[in-house]
Amino acid sequence: MVATAPTIAKRRTDAPDHSEVEHVTATIVNMRYRTFGRTGWKVSEIGYGMWGMGGWTGSDDDESLRALERAIALGCNFFDTAWAYGQGRASSCLVRCGAQHRDATMIVATKIPPKNMRWPARAESSIDETYPADHIRKLTETSLENLGVDAIDLQQFHVWSDTWADDRHWQRAVDDLKREKLVRAFGISVNRREPANVLRALETGLIDSVQVVYNVFDQSPEDELFPCCQQHDIADHRAGAVRRRQPHRHADVRVDLA
């Protein structure tokens, strides 16, 4: 996730053919911080999206730990994981790293998968198929255990359809988790290419942040979503802001550097 990138110095080496991996080295000169909406948290402008640590891209846990160590050393303090990232595997890497940096500020966001495990969300799916109240609580309790914490900084729905916005069951479940201090804030990860498919949920007053794809190729969140977030003091953290493609032995893999 990137809000606005800090000053970066880059060096690129041209690959002789398509079989070579493009090498980019970047040195962050200084990390900047922003207020995360109405939560008041001071978060690094570059956050660490941890989907690649879930195991399905052939990730190595030791390499993941080294990457996390480097991110912390450079001033990153916002880490976005999810139960779906290896059914807690990415979260376990973060816990192992955090145990070595108990004095570091680490703001952790995680996500609840839809009960029907379908991405992206579909309008025809009911809230009982995706986010019934007992599922919201169960997966939050699972994430609390995986992260080894008493409260989650930012819990999020991993998919969303605004056809569910008026349902009182999810609203009550989220409100209960906040009231019981099991989560400090709650957010929604917006479906790709559907940045307006969350506006009604934001009007409930229960949503503190949105995660949305925003980059040089897709700036549609500027039309309605960002103005709505600004109006309600809702934080936005932006996925896919810096992206490159690299060859993979078995598939073409897009690597999010944000």
pTM of the shown model: 0.83
Query: 1-15, 38-52, 79-93, 232-246 — which is least confidently predicted?
Result: 1-15
Name which of 137, 139, 153 is nearest 47 in CA terms.
153
pLDDT score for 29: 62
Residue 2 lies in a domain: no
Residue 1 lies in a domain: no
Is residue 16 over pLDDT 90? no
pLDDT score for 47: 95
- Reported as a pLDDT band with limits 50, 70 and 90, residue 88 is confident
Residue 227 lies in a domain: yes
Is residue 243 over pLDDT 80? no
Residue 204 lies in a domain: yes
- Give the total number of structural domains in the chain: 1
DSSP H/E element including 63? helix 61-73
pLDDT score for 10: 35
Give the Cα separation of 39 and 235 in Å (integer).
8
**Do 229 and 37 contact (CB within 8 A), yes or no?**
yes
Residue 3 lies in a domain: no
Is residue 164 over pLDDT 60? yes
CATH code for the domain in which residue 17 is found: 3.20.20.100
pLDDT tens digit sequence for 178-228 = 999 999 999 999 999 999 999 999 999 999 999 999 999 999 999 999 999
Please list, residue by residue across 101-138, b when 16 or more beta carbons sit within 10 angstroms of its beta carbon and e when fewer do.
eeeeebbbbbbbbbbbeeebbeeebebeebbbbebbbe
What domain range is 146 assigned to? Answer: 8-256
Contacts of 257 (CB under 8 A, 6+ apart): 242, 243, 244
- Reported as a pLDDT band with limits 50, 70 and 90, residue 54 is confident
Residue 27 lies in a domain: yes
Name which of 232, 251, 237 is nearest 80 in CA terms.
237
- Reported as a pLDDT band with limits 50, 70 and 90, residue 59 is confident
